[in-house]
Each structure stands twice: as C-alpha cells, then as structure tokens.
Amino acid sequence: MATTATDSVSGETAGSEGHSAIDPIHQFEINPIIPITIGDIDLSLTNSGLWALIAVALVSAVMLAAPRQLIPTRLQSVAESLYELVFGMTEEVLGPQGRAYFPFIFTLFAFILAANLLGLIPGAFTVTSHIIVTLALALMVFVGATIIGFIKHGAGYLKLFVPAGVPAPLLPFVVPIEIISYFIRPFSLSIRLFANMMAGHMMLKVIAGFVIMLGVFAGWLPLMALVAIYALELLVAVLQAYVFALLTCLYLNDALHVDH
Amino acid sequence: MAHEKLKDLSRRLEQTRKAQLGGDSQRREEGSALGLATRAITELVVGIAVAMGIGWLLDRWLGTKPWLMLVLMPFGFAAGVVNVMRLSQSKQAEELMGGKAGAEPAKPVVDDEDED
C-alpha cells in the first residue's frame, strides 16, 4: 500500500535519491506559463508571476469593491480594519510626518499579506517563498529609506552610525558594528519572510506526505498535526506581513529622525 | 438627531470591541511573541552571515583572503547582539515581558524601537 502511494506521489521527480512520497521542494519550482522572450531576455509569465498578479488583483478587489457605508458589510470591514491597522502603525511609529509614506507601507503590507495567504491554498504558488522576491521588496525599502535619510539630513544621516555618548576610544569598535547592523536590515527583513514561508510550506508538505504513507489506519494522526500546523501557518502568514510592514516603518523612522 | 444615533452607535461599538479584545488578547500576545522571536533569531544569524559576506567581498577585492572575513565575523555577531538588545528594549517587548497582564487589553502590536 505504501509503495503505490509513494509511486503516485513522487511522479516526475528525477532525483538521484530515488523516489519518496515526500518531495517538499517541488512546490517551489518556477514554471513558465506563457513564454515571452524579448531579445535575449526571458520575460515569461511564470507561476510565480501569475500568483503575484492574483495577489495584486485580490488586494485591489477587496479595497476597491468594498462599499462605503456607515454600517459596514463584511467586505468593507476587512478593508477598513486592514487600513486602520496599517494607518495606526504608521502614525504611532512615524508620527504625523509618516502619512506621506502610508500608501507605500500599506501597499507593501497588503501585497505580502495577500501573497502569503494565497500561498496557503492547496496547489497555489507562494510568491514570498522565494528569496529573490522578498529581497527585492526589502531592498526597495532599504534603498528608499537610505535615500530619504540623505535627502532629509544630508551628510548628517551618517550620525546614525555614531551613537551619542560613546567614548572616543570605543568608536573604532562601535562604528563598524553600527554600520554592519545597518546593512543587516535588508537581509534580515527578506530572510525572515522567505524562511518563514518556505519552512512552513515544506513542513506542510512533509506531514502531508506522512498522511499518504500511513494510509487509512494511522494517517489520521499526521492529519491532525497537519490541521494544527495549517492554523499556525495562517498566523505566521499574517504575522510576517505585519512584521515586514512594522520594520519598514521603523527603518523609515530612522531615516526621518536621526537625531533623537 | 441622526447625530445622537451615531454617537450611541459608536459607544456601543466601542463596548463590544473592548469586550472582544479582552477575549483574544492572549492569542494576540502569543502572536506578537512569535513575531519577536523570529525577529531575534534572524538578527543573530543574519548578522554573522552579512558581516562575513561583506568581509568575503572585501577580501576578494583587496586580495587579503581570508583575513577581513575573519575579522568582521565577531563584529557581525556583535551587531546581531546589539540589534537583539535594542529589540528587547522596544515597547513591544516590554509589553510582553513586563507582566502588566490584564490591566488593559493588549494594544495591537505596534511598537517603537528605542534607537538612541
């Protein structure tokens, strides 16, 4: 029984490790759906690109289609509570100055949230499980915040690397540490999101493999675990989108108020 | 007249909201604790990795393999630790670990990192 299940699941894997029911990596494979090449550049619409577009469409639909009534419908409540969550966060971290950045932060949050949640649909592709996607988002934040910092403060922005009140003999140690901790930002931002999404989805796949391997008799045990982990992954999906937006706010806060 | 009605509505909404927030504040706290934990772990790991990466690139550029990478590694570790220390002084962490449980429904996890 176990072998037939194994054979049917491992399907097209041509790995040298033989066949196993558990192939947690396969779900991250990128496949072109509509091949497009311009010159030497491969611009194909891939499954990743498709799901990114679906995420954009979903967010747009929720935000635009929500009616604007005094007593909100369910859809309007979703749109309003998302808006209020991010607006409250922006106001609290950045102050009134932060309103200019609210559209950017909200877009970022909504896109990541939609991509994370859509990825949990069985068979869907998780856009944010690829480091290149999250790194691109994080670099956008990092480069943007750095540019804003230099525009607002000029060379004074470099004061960020020299904390006030540090005795001069310690500066050769403190300044490199501060510089490194600044350059860590885009990587910790992107790796946290990508690793959470990837690890979660691999775990789901592995345990789903157990369900099939153990079959009707013992399979319900991992199935229960699967349900619990799925719930956890829902939490992680929302949480990581929130953490990404929150850290974007904190980094922008540094760019706006260096000297405090 | 319609104004009065609105005020009444917002008052009742506020009540309901408070009642419901009290109910799931624990779950919310667990959620933000998980958020803090993932932040702390990535800061530590990524700190070392980024510092060694910078060192490796500088080494390749200056031809001083492997010295800058080795010198920068402890700095990366220190940067990670500094970031985690700052994280632990943030408002969010204090709310979670200060033990003010029950005094007021946990605020939606908005924090403000103290960067001095």
Give one DSSP letter per residue of B91-108, joined into a string: HHHHHHHS--TTTSPPPP
Strand-pairing partners, residue A34, are A45
Q: What is the sign, positive or negative, of the torsion defined by CA atoms of A156, A162, A166, A168?
A: negative
Which positions in chain A touch B6 (Cβ < 8 Å)?
70
Question: Nearest C-alpha of chain B: how many angstroms from A57?
Answer: 27
Chain A interface test: which of B26, B50, B95 (most A C-beta within 10 Å): B50
- HSE on the CB side for A188, CA within 13 Å? 29
Q: Name which of A27-31, A83-87, A167-171, B22-26 the model is least confident about.
A: B22-26
Residue range A102-130, pLDDT digits in tens: 999 999 999 999 999 999 999 899 999 99
* A38 exposure class (CB count in 10 Å sphere: 0-12, 13-18, 19+): exposed
Strand-pairing partners, residue A41, are A38
Domain extents in chain B: 2-97
Residue range A233-256, pLDDT digits in tens: 999 999 999 999 999 999 999 899
Confidence band for A7, pLDDT divided at 50, 70 and 90: very low
Percentage of chain B modeled with pLDDT above 70: 73
* A58 exposure class (CB count in 10 Å sphere: 0-12, 13-18, 19+): middle
CB within 8 A of B56, min separation 6: which ones?
Answer: B66, B68, B69
Higher pLDDT, A9 or A179: A179
The shortest CB-CB distance from B35 to any of A89, A164, A239 is to: A239
CB contact under 8 A, A187 and B46: yes
Q: What is the mean pLDDT of residues B83-112?
A: 65
ipTM: 0.75
Alpha carbons A138 and A135: distance in angstroms, whole number? 5
